[in-house]
Chains A and B, each alone.
Chain A
Amino acid sequence: MFSRAYRAAITLPPLIWVVLFLLIPYGLLFCYSFWSVSPSQTIVHSWTLDNYRELFRVNVYLQTLVRSMWIAARVMTFSLLLGYPLAYFLSFYAGPRKDLFYQLVIIPLWVSYLVRAYAWKTILGSDGVLNTLLQYVHLTKHPLEFLLYSPFAVVLTLTHIYTPFTVLPIYAALEHIPRNLVEASHDLGASPLQTFWRVIFPLSIPGVLAGATFAFVLSLGDFLAPLLLGGPSGIMISNIVVSLFGAAYNWPLGAAISLCMLILVVSLLFLSEKLEKKWSFR
Chain B
Amino acid sequence: MPADLLQSVTALCCSARARRLLGLWILLATPLTLASAASQPSTGALQAATQRLVIVLARERRELPPPLSLLDMPAPDDALAGAKLAINDNNTTGRFLNQEFVLEVVQAASEELIAEVDDHVRHGAAFVVLDASPPTLLALADLMKDRNVLILNAGSSDDLLRGEDCRRNVVHTAPSRNMLTDALAQYLVWKRWRRWFLVVGTEPGDQAFAEAVRRSAKRFGGKIVQERSFNLDPGNRRSDGGHEQIQEQIPLFSQNVPDYDVLVAADESGQFGDYLPFRTWDARPVAGTQGLVPTSWHPALEQWGATQFQNRFLRLANRPMRALDYNVWVAVRSIGEAAARTKTLSAPDIIAYLRSNEFELAAFKGRKLSYRSWNGQLRQPILLATPKLTVTVSPQPGFLHQSSELDTLGTDKPESMCKAYASQ
Q: Do A and B come from one complex?
A: no
Interface, chain B (partner A; CB < 8 A): none
